[in-house]
Amino acid sequence: MIKFLFKGILRDKSRSLSPIIVITIGVVLTVMLSGLLKGMLTDMIDQNAWFETGHVKVMSREYAKNKDQLPNDLALLGVDTLMQSLQKEFPFMNWVKRIRFGGLIDVPDAQGNSKGQGPASGMAIDLFSPHSVEARRLNIAKSLVTGSVPSKKGESIIGNEFAEKLHLKLGDEITYIGSTMNGEMSFKNFRVSGTIRFGVAAMDKGAVIIDITDAQEMLDMSDGAGELLGFFNSGIYNDKKAQLVTEEFNEHYVQSDDNFAPIMFRLKEQNNLSGYLDFVNSMSTILVSIFVFAMSIVLWNTGLLGGLRRYYEFGIRLALGESKGHIYRSLILEAILIGTIGSIIGSVIGLAGTWYMQVHGLDLSGFLKNATSMMMPSILRSQLSPELIYIGFIPGLLAMVLGNMLSGIGIYKRETATLFKELEV
CB of 321 to another protein, least distance (A): 2
Q: Helices 273-309 & 400-413, crossing angle to 10 degrees?
A: 40
Give backbone dihedrals phi and psi of 13, rounded to 5 degrees, phi first.
-60, -30
Q: Which of 17, 286, 319, 409 binds another protein (CB under 8 A)?
A: 319
Residue 109 CA, chain-centre distance (Å), reads 45
Query: Given the rule CB under 8 A, which of 206-214, 225-233, 323-331, 346-354 is the region that contacts another protein?
Result: 323-331
Q: Strand, coil or helix: what is 86? A: helix
Angle, vertex CA 323, rays to CA 319 and CA 327, nearest 5: 95
The CB-of-408 to another protein minimum distance in angstroms stands at: 14
Residues 6+ apart with CB under 8 A from 83: 95, 97, 228
Q: How far is the CB of 405 from another protein (least distance, A)?
A: 17
Which one of 2-10, 26-34, 39-47, 98-106 is the stretch in contact with another protein (CB under 8 A)? 2-10
Q: Does 1 bind another protein (CB under 8 A)?
A: yes
**Span 383-412, contacts to another protein by CB under 8 A:** 412
Nearest approach in angstroms of CB 299 to another protein is 23
* Cα angle, residue 351 at apex, residues 346 and 357 outer, rounded to 5°: 125
- Residue 181 and residue 400: Cα distance in Å, rounded? 66
Reference 329, options 396, 411, 264; nearest CA is 411
Largest Cα–Cα distance of the chain, in whole Å? Answer: 106
Going by their DSSP bridges, the two strands 379-380 and 362-363 should be labelled as antiparallel
12 makes contact with another protein (CB under 8 A): yes
Residue whose CB is less far from another protein, 35 or 315: 315
Q: Taking the complex as a whole, how short is the minimal distance between the CB of residue 412 and another protein, in angstroms? A: 8
| Nearer residue to another protein within complex by CB, 4 or 110 | 4
Q: Contacting another protein (CB under 8 A), which of 85, 285, 325, 387? A: 325
185 binding another protein? (CB under 8 A): no
- The yes or no reply on residue 323 touching another protein (CB under 8 A) is yes
Count of Cβ atoms closer than 10 Å to residue 237 Cβ: 24
Q: Which of 97, 100, 266, 317 binds another protein (CB under 8 A)?
A: 317
Q: Is 7 in the site for another protein (CB under 8 A)?
A: yes
Q: Which residues of 321-344 are buried (b: 16+ CB within 10 A; e: fewer)?
A: eeebeebbebbbebbebbbbbbbb
Q: Does 329 bind another protein (CB under 8 A)?
A: no
Residue 307 CB, shortest distance to another protein, in Å, is 16
- Going by DSSP bridges, is the β-strand pair 93-108/173-179 parallel, antiparallel, or unpaired? antiparallel
Q: Which is nearer to another protein, 129 or 416 (CB)?
A: 416
Rounded-to-integer distance, Cα 383 and Cα 364, Å:
17
| 413 scored as a contact of another protein (CB under 8 A) | no
CB 189 within 8 A of CB 210: no
Contact with another protein (CB under 8 A) among 23, 318, 345, 357: 318
320 touches another protein (CB under 8 A)? yes
Contact residues: another protein, CB under 8 A: 1, 4, 7-8, 11-12, 312-313, 315-326, 412, 415-417, 420, 424-425
